[in-house]
C-alpha cells in the first residue's frame, strides 16, 4: 500500500487479515482473533487482549502466541501490504 496507513484503515481490513490467517493456520487464528487493535504508530501495531482475559474458561493464548506471531505478520503483509512490529498488551 502506498503512503502511510492509519489505524482506521487497518481496522477496516482486519477481518480479511483474520480470514487469511485462518486459511493458513487455524491455531494462530484462535490465538489472535479476539485481539483489539489498540494503536498503530511508526509501524508498530499494538494488540490489546484484555477482553479475552475476562472469559471464565481457558481462553488465554498468551503463552502460545509468540510461536504463531510469524503467521499473523505474514497475513498482515499479504492483505495490507505493510510490514509491522507487533506489541501485545
Distance CA 52, CA 59 (A): 6
Judge whether 2 lies within some domain.
Answer: no
Query: Is 33 within the bounds of a domain?
Result: yes
Q: What's CA 77's distance to the chain center, in Å?
A: 11
Q: pLDDT by residue (tens digit) across 2-14?
A: 457 899 999 999 9
CATH number at residue 62: 3.30.300
Average pLDDT of the chain, as a whole number: 86
Number of domains in the chain: 1
- Residue 21 inside a domain? The answer is yes
Q: Which range marks the domain in which residue 56 is found?
A: 7-88
Q: Tell me the residue ranges of DSSP E strands in 1-83.
A: 36-41, 44-48
- Which has more confidence, 12 or 58? 12
* Closest C-alpha to 65, from 81, 50, 83, 87: 87
Residue 1 lies in a domain: no
Alpha carbon separation from 12 to 6, 56, 79 (Å, rounded): 10, 29, 12
pTM: 0.83
Q: What is the pLDDT, as a whole number, of residue 20?
A: 98
Per-residue pLDDT band for 89 (boundaries 50, 70, 90) equals confident
Please tell me the distance from the alpha carbon of residue 87 to that of residue 89, in angstroms, as a whole number.
7
Amino acid at each position: 500500500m502506498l503512503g502511510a496507513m492509519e489505524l482506521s484503515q487497518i481496522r477496516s481490513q482486519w477481518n480479511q487479515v483474520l480470514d487469511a490467517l485462518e486459511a493458513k493456520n487455524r491455531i494462530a487464528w484462535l490465538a489472535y482473533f479476539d485481539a483489539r487493535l489498540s494503536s498503530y504508530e511508526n509501524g508498530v501495531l499494538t494488540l490489546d487482549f484484555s477482553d479475552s482475559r475476562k472469559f471464565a474458561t481457558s481462553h488465554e493464548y498468551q503463552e502460545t502466541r509468540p510461536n504463531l506471531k510469524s503467521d499473523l505478520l505474514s497475513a498482515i503483509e499479504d492483505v495490507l501490504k505493510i510490514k509491522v512490529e507487533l506489541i501485545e498488551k
